[in-house]
Amino acid sequence: MKYFLRRIAFFLATLWAAVTLNFIIPRLEPGDPAEVMVRKLSGKDAQLDPAAVKAMRAMLGAPDGNLLRQYVRYLDALAHGDFGLSYTYYPYGVTEVIGHALPWTLALVGTTQVLSFIIGITLGAFAAWRRNSRFDSVVTLGSTFLGALPAFWIALLLLFAFGYTLGWFPTSGGYEDSIPGWNGAFIGDAVIHSILPAVALLVTTSVAWVLGMRNTMVLNLGADYIRLAKAKGLADRDVALRYAARNALLPSVTGFAIALGGLLGGSVLVESIFDYPGMGRLMAEAIGNKDYPLLQTLLLFIVVGVLLANLIADMLYGVLDPRVRRTPA
């Protein structure tokens, strides 16, 4: 019980620190979002009118007063679920804006994370079991090579080859001519638009699971309990799956949980390149427009998601491996 209470206490302390940093960091960035919006409306070279800037701040509900007063108001707003209005999508609220983007990211990034985890650990486990074979060499070298390539470069390569050159897939957006809703035309349109971003994410995210699973399983294959299992005459398949792979999978549980928690932020580079209407593109727009309410809420979603996923992983560790509960933290 002490182990679980410690995990919960660490979670609450880290959450408070994350919320505080989430409030401070955007305000350290130079510039004024009200001035940015006034310049957009009046023209890039036009002289700023202080009265117009002041009116824009009032219209946007920009925070005023010292940092301490803003921080207290910020915590009070969070407690009441009030995330404010988006500067970029004014007069829509932050919650409404995120509500439109979140399903797209959950469908794209969530699906690719699960698929990349399954594909990665399967290839890694088989490569470890067949280590020093041709299959192991191809998987290891291929994963190392792909892991060295930036995600945005792979996305741009796919976009150029299959979007612009061959014209097999759309080059931007989440859908085109169909009407959004639970109908076959829209779902098919959305799936076609998500293929290239999904492939780009699969290629880049599978690499870590392949190499991590292979290296961990190779270490486990040299353990005493593996030699004992072989000495008992167990089938190679049972030794690989029930002993080596099962134990090698434990470190990947935490990584997978954190990856699932972080998917709320989407993939900024990939979604921006394909102009995909998800949380990643939304974050890029919030940064570019100094949209503090939207940016703070997006960062808060990501942090809370990762912390919750990490807490769940710690709890599962305590259940699956009793040794963890006896280890001082």
Decide if 316 contacts 253 (C-beta within 8 A): yes
pLDDT, residue 36, reads: 66
pLDDT in tens, 215-249: 777 777 767 777 777 777 777 666 766 666 666 66
pLDDT score of 74 more than 60: yes
Please compute the mean of the pLDDT values over residues 185-204 and round it to a whole number.
81
pLDDT reported for residue 299: 80
pLDDT per residue as tens digits for the range 131-186: 778 888 888 888 888 777 777 788 888 888 888 888 888 877 777 776 666 777 77
Residue 56 CB neighbour total at 10 angstroms: 21
Give the angle subtended at the CA of 260 by the CAs of 317 and 305, to the nearest 5°: 90
Q: Where are the domains of the chain?
A: 31-82, 100-325
Q: Pseudo-torsion of CA 9, 14, 19, 22, nearest 10°?
A: 180
Q: In a 3-state reduction of DSSP, which class is residue 85? A: strand
DSSP state of 93: B
pTM of structure: 0.67
Q: Average per-residue pLDDT in the chain? A: 75
Q: What angle do CA 306, 89, 41 make, to 5 degrees?
A: 135
Q: How large is the average pLDDT for residues 198-212?
A: 81
Domain 100-325 falls in which CATH fold? Answer: MetI-like fold (1.10.3720)
132 sits in which H/E element? none
For residue 63, is pLDDT > 80?
no
Sign of CA dihedral 217, 222, 225, 230: positive
Q: CA-to-CA distance for 325 and 322, rounded, in angstroms?
A: 6
Judge whether residue 67 has pLDDT over 80: no
Helices (H), the chain: 2-28, 33-42, 50-60, 67-79, 94-105, 111-129, 134-147, 151-158, 184-221, 224-231, 236-238, 246-262, 268-273, 279-288, 292-320, 322-325
How far is it, in rounded angstroms, from Cα 46 to Cα 208? 50
Q: Which residues pair with 85 in a beta bridge?
A: 93
